[in-house]
Structure 1
Amino acid sequence: MRHVTKVFTDLVRVETRLYNAVNARLRTEHGLGLGQFELLEIIDRVPRCRVLDIAGELAITVGAVSKAVDRLVAAGWCRRAAHPHDRRSSTLHLTPEGERQLAASRPVIENELASLTAALTPDDLTRTASALATLRTALESGSHGQPS
């Protein structure tokens, strides 16, 4: 196996295990999954957030995001509003309950991730973060990893 293939395999396995552990704790403590948390976080952070904004950030299809947002709306965690400049689009906004879910979930995620990454020294974690940020920027500057 080539060196870069091994790095890729390790990266995928680490991501899967981190995601599953954080997802399980979040579901147990707050009744929402990590994917739902990510959507709430993006909606909170992006002004006049649209489904298209989330799809671009997560590199998933508009259809998948639209269905996920429908579930957030049904749960009472966000609402759609008419876009002020584009009648074909809507903006997404957290409801007060969505804001509460997001605020309560953030420390759970931070604590779980801190615990799961405790095997790394702070310097190792900083170097890993830097390398991943560089790779992510390179991939996002092109069409790599975008949904088909």
Structure 2
Amino acid sequence: MADLAAEFAIGIGATSKGVDRLEKQGWVVRQRNPADRRSSLLALTDEGLELVDAADRTFTGRLAELIGETLGGSRLSTVARALSELRSVLERDQIGTPTG
């Protein structure tokens, strides 16, 4: 849970509740972590994997529609690099990271 919370910059409690909901939907399962009995690992179920694949196709297609018409070619690469640099700075400085 701590890794997910850090990745999404949300609290551990919110992460755990969200995972509980995903588990109830049948999209993820908790598995024992063989390296650390105090924690668990999450795995997508087959249904969860299908959902992620469908969401990825939808997101990628829509993003291409929105950005492709506005930012073509090298402009898109420039924007991608700038956003990547911004994310790196925000992560380095822990801006947006929850404190609790």
Query: Is TM (by shorter chain) over 0.5?
Result: yes
RMSD: 1.2
2:72 aligned partner: 121
Tell me whether 136-145 or 124-133 shows the greater mean CA deviation: 136-145
Q: Aligned runs of 1:108-147 on 2, under 5 Å?
A: 108-117=58-67, 118-147=69-98
1:142 Cα offset (Å): 2.6
Tell me, which stretches of 5 or more residues in structure 2 are unaligned?
A: none
1:77 Cα offset (Å): 0.4
Tell me, which stretches of 5 or more residues in structure 1 are unaligned?
A: 1-50
Aligned counterpart for 2:10 among listed residues 60, 83, 89: 60
Where in structure 1 do 4 or more consecutive aligned residues deviate above 6 Å? none
> Deviation per CA, 1:71-91, whole angstroms, max 9, x where unpaired?
110100000011112222110
> Deviation per CA, 1:79-117, whole angstroms, max 9, x where unpaired?
001111222211000011111111222111100111121
2:20 aligned partner: 70
TM-score, normalisation: structure 2: 0.90
Size of the alignment, in residue pairs?
98
2: CA distance between counterparts of 1:52 and 1:125?
33
2: CA distance between counterparts of 1:143 and 1:90?
25
1:143 Cα offset (Å): 2.1
2: CA distance between counterparts of 1:70 and 1:92?
11
**Identity of paired residues, percent?**
43
